[in-house]
Amino acid sequence: MDTLSKCERSKRMALVRSQDTKPEMRLRRLIHGMGYRYRLHRADLPGRPDIVFPARRKVIFVHGCFWHRHAHPACRLARLPKSRLDFWLPKLEGNRDRDERNQIALRASGWDVLVVWECELADTKALRLRITGFLDGGGTS
């Protein structure tokens, strides 16, 4: 049973942002501080990637662990809600399926894709190395 009324739940869900989220802003500040320049939310690309490096043909998605169903066993943020599983499971799995389709489409059109999970933002040092390797080195990560 949901602890909020339908109206209260609707108001709370309306506050969930799709871009310029805290994890996305943290990653953007980190990348900018590393000296890289980028474009945001290119609507002409599948999935409208969060961060785009057009000259390098590379994109980065910043995924919230809950909304995009991070499957890593150590991730504590990817928990399922306690109520309305009949609603949430298909919705969250649909998000994951859509993400996969978008990444496949991007790769098929010559773009390299990196997904950064919300829980990975805690380890800045490892994230810097991963971003540098992705942008300056090889391709898909």
Model-level pTM? Answer: 0.85
Q: Residue 15 has what pLDDT? A: 59
What is the C-alpha separation between 26 and 49, in angstroms, rounded? 16
Token pair belonging to 8: 């209260």
At residue 89, the 3 state secondary structure works out as helix
- Type of residue numbered 121: L
128 closest CA partner among 47, 52, 50, 31: 31
What is the C-alpha separation between 101 and 91, in angstroms, rounded? 15
At residue 113, the 3 state secondary structure works out as strand
- Please give the full DSSP string across 43-64, using - where no structure is assigned: TTSTT--SEEEGGGTEEEEEE-
- For Cα atoms 51, 56, 70, give the angle at the middle one, nearest 5 degrees: 40
Cβ 68 vs Cβ 96: under 8 Å = yes
* Segment 55-94, tens digit of pLDDT: 999 999 999 998 888 988 888 888 888 888 888 899 999 9
Q: Residue 139 has what pLDDT? A: 57
Please state at what angle helix 22-33 crosses helix 124-136, rounded to 10 degrees. Answer: 60
* Segment 16-54, tens digit of pLDDT: 666 678 999 999 999 999 999 999 999 999 999 999 999
Ordered by where they begin, the domains of the chain are 17-135 (3.40.960.10)
Q: Residue 12 has what pLDDT? A: 64
Q: Residue 10 has what pLDDT? A: 65
